[in-house]
């Protein structure tokens, strides 16, 4: 049996922790439709607070998943877009979306 590559485990765990943060998956999924202004993005991800949306976008920008572009005004606007890495992440999330539609939409909470 081959030894486990600890770097692979660390990279995998880092990726799962990033994508597993609240609203991150929804943000990446919505941005797959193309560049989006902040206000439209906030509307497309219902339930996310402005503070948390801003925090997640900054984090995704730091990891090179999203780019932020300031649009000249007036009024000045900000637009977000997935990078190549972000688009690949979106593709990697497709199977989770299939699973979610199959199992989460008809889920009945288990009483404890």
The CATH code of domain 7-104 reads 1.10.10.10
pLDDT 10s digits, 34-76:
999 999 999 999 899 999 999 999 999 999 999 999 998 788 8
Give the per-residue pLDDT at 109.
Answer: 64
Largest CA distance in the chain: 63
pLDDT for 48 equals 95
Whole-angstrom distance, CA of residue 29 vs CA of residue 23: 10
Domain boundary assignment for the chain: 7-104
């Amino acid at each position: 049996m081959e030894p486990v590559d600890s770097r692979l485990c660390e990279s995998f765990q880092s990726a799962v922790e990033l994508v597993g943060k609240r609203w991150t998956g929804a943000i990446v999924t919505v941005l797959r439709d193309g560049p989006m202004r902040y206000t439209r993005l906030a509307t497309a991800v219902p339930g996310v607070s402005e503070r948390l949306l801003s925090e997640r976008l900054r984090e995704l920008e730091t990891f090179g998943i999203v780019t932020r572009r300031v649009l000249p005004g007036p009024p000045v606007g900000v637009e977000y877009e997935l990078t190549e890495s972000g688009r690949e992440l979106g593709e990697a999330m497709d199977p989770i979306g299939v699973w979610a539609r199959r199992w989460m939409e008809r889920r009945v909470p288990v009483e404890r």
